[in-house]
Structure 1
Amino acid sequence: MMADEEQELRALLERLKQEHRDLDVAIAALQGMPGNDQLQLARFKKRKLLLKDRIGYVEDQICPDIIA
């Protein structure tokens, strides 16, 4: 992998992690509201799971597990 490719992946990884953290805050805020929107809450949680999978994929691209 080229250095600039790795740099791009690391930047993408940081953006994904930031969005994941932002969703944590949004989910906590929404759960704390009386009469919260369950549909919106489910959408946030689903997006958070998708981000978690994508983060794992990008991390594997940066540092693959090589079994020798």
Structure 2
Amino acid sequence: MPFLYLVVVILVIATIISLVLSFLGILVVGALRLLPLVLILLVAAILLGKVRITVVRGGDRKRDRWLDD
């Protein structure tokens, strides 16, 4: 009889793990489907001047600034 309870507990744990992984998979697929839209919006915001990207190298921010106008 204890063996039967152990099998039931293992099956319940496996079901819970499967549901959690399925939910995480749905989230990842949803995020990947939104990625092109997010990239298009980011490029549009950069081109319109709403977002400014600054790449800094080293410690001196004034001297090593790239893409500065």
- State the TM-score, normalized to the length of structure 1: 0.48
Q: Which structure has the greater CA radius of gyration?
A: 2
Structure holding more helix per residue: 1
What is the TM-score of this pair, normalised by structure 2? 0.47
Q: Please identify which structure carries the higher strand content.
A: 2
